[in-house]
Amino acid sequence: MSSRDAILGRIRRSLGASGVDATRLAAVRHRLTETPVNVVPARGQLPAAERVELFVRKASDIFATVARIDHRDDIPAAVADYLRGRNLPQAIRRGEDPRLAGLPWQREAQLAVAIGPSAGQDLAGLSYADAGVAETGTVVLTSGVNNPTTLNFLPDHHIVVVDASTVAGDYETVWADLRRRFGAGAMPRTVNLVTGPSRSADIEETLLLGAHGPRSLHILVVG
């Protein structure tokens, strides 16, 4: 007997249950297709403007920095500003996201923009988030050619753009959106929920930023 059959058999014996019991199968099918929502904190259930404010506050609480800009076209200048402010070289790496590709990068003549995944040599990466989550100041990033996952982890500084209109109150809203875009029960290879810059408290419980991932997380909220 394979270990698979042995394990499933032991589980069913312990539970005194059958793998073809119609009631059990229906309970599981219901949960998986209806995906019932459990308890959702009230804190994120706010009108749009206040929701974005909560997102900004929560992100700042966990050591991200946040800048608000009016239009996507302001992104190149905001990126250049950030790099200048941190005394970093004017260089950024991004993916092929059309929302980034179509921007007036030429306005920042000094800024070198590389495209594609990181091999570990980049100081700063730029990504477009699928969403923000107000309840914890979290950004949601999905893998693919538009926003390679390596940009979320290898560069020392990670700049993430979030459209204010995509800032949700809670994770459940984000799940519903993922199902709409990728299909029910399907996911891109990697979905990253990022809440602040990388940190560790493994030495004497001392909180330090920049363990293995980015030392700093800068969020540009558009709109």
Instruction: Say whether residue 24 binds other proteins (CB under 8 A).
Output: yes
Residue count at the site for other proteins (CB under 8 A)? 81
2 binds other proteins (CB under 8 A): yes
Q: Is 71 in the site for other proteins (CB under 8 A)?
A: no
Closest CA to 196 of 181, 214, 178: 214
* 101 is an interface residue for other proteins by CB under 8 A: no
Nearer to other proteins, 210 or 223 (CB): 210
- Measured between alpha carbons, how far is 158 from 139 in angstroms, rounded to an integer? 12
- The CB-of-107 to other proteins minimum distance in angstroms stands at 27
Asked if 117 touches other proteins (CB under 8 A), the answer is: yes
Please say which residue, 18 or 110, places its beta carbon nearer to other proteins. Answer: 18
Interface positions, 183-212, toward other proteins (CB under 8 A): 185-206, 208, 210-212
Among 88, 90, 171, 177, binds other proteins (CB under 8 A): 171
Quickly count: other Cβ atoms within 10 Å of residue 38's Cβ. Answer: 5
Total residues belonging to the chain: 223
SS3 of 67-100: the string is: EEECCHHHHHHHHHHHHHHCCCCCEEEECCCHHH
State which residue, 98 or 120, has the beta carbon closest to other proteins.
120
Strand partners, 218: 65, 159
- Asked if 165 is part of the footprint of other proteins (rule: CB under 8 A), the reply reads no
Asked if residues 154 and 120 have their Cβ atoms less than 8 Å apart, the reply is yes
